[in-house]
Amino acid sequence: MSSERPRVWEDMAREASPPHDREVQRKKRKTAENRAGTNPSRSARSDLRDSKYARALVKTLMTHEHGWLFNVDPVGLGLPDYFAIVKKPMDFGTVQKRLENGQYDTLDQFHSDICLTFDNAMLYSEEGSDVHDMA
């Protein structure tokens, strides 16, 4: 899977974020970018952490009917070969923690971790398996 968002992800994002919230977030970003004397990366990080859209999207993904498949605990699930196959582990719980802790400087970083979660599921799971197909 490439860095393109799955269609289901776009639909869930639209449901999780009313148009008004998207407009407010866009205005916040523009305002933050236009402030003189501020650190743009700090403003962007703060906007992303406070973004109702990003938080709602992660919550929607985690509570989706099949969302539990993408909260992988390889040790707890007894998958001893997981770390040999998946070199950059990522799951929705980690994405949520990073978002809450302000560890994303850009929306692209947030998006990349969401995509990495699905990429890892496809990498570890056999082609044609339910998990691979859902990812």
Q: What is the pLDDT of residues 2-61, one digit of tens each?
A: 444 455 545 555 555 555 555 555 555 555 455 444 444 555 555 665 588 899 999 999
Question: Is 41 inside any structural domain?
Answer: yes
Give the per-residue pLDDT at 21: 53
* pLDDT number for residue 116: 97
Cα separation of 129 and 131, whole Å? 6
User: Distance (Å, rounded) from C-alpha 31 to C-alpha 23?
Assistant: 12
Q: Is residue 60 part of a domain?
A: yes
Contacts 24+ apart (CB under 8 A), 77-80: 79/124
pLDDT recorded at residue 36: 42
Per-residue DSSP letter, 25: H
2, part of any domain: no
Q: What's the pLDDT score for residue 69?
A: 85
Within a domain: 53: yes
Q: Is residue 1 part of a domain?
A: no
Tell which residue, 44, 47, 56, has the closest CA to residue 17.
56
Identity (one letter) of the amino acid at 28? K
Confirm whether 127 is domain-assigned.
yes
CATH number of the domain enclosing 65? 1.20.920.10
Range of the domain at 97: 7-134
pLDDT tens by residue, 75-132:
888 889 999 999 999 999 999 999 999 999 888 999 999 999 999 999 999 999 888 8
Query: Number of folded domains in the chain?
Result: 1
Confidence at residue 76, expressed as pLDDT on a 0 to 100 scale: 87
DSSP letters, 71-122, are S--TTTTT-TTHHHH-SS---HHHHHHHHHTT--SSHHHHHHHHHHHHHHHH
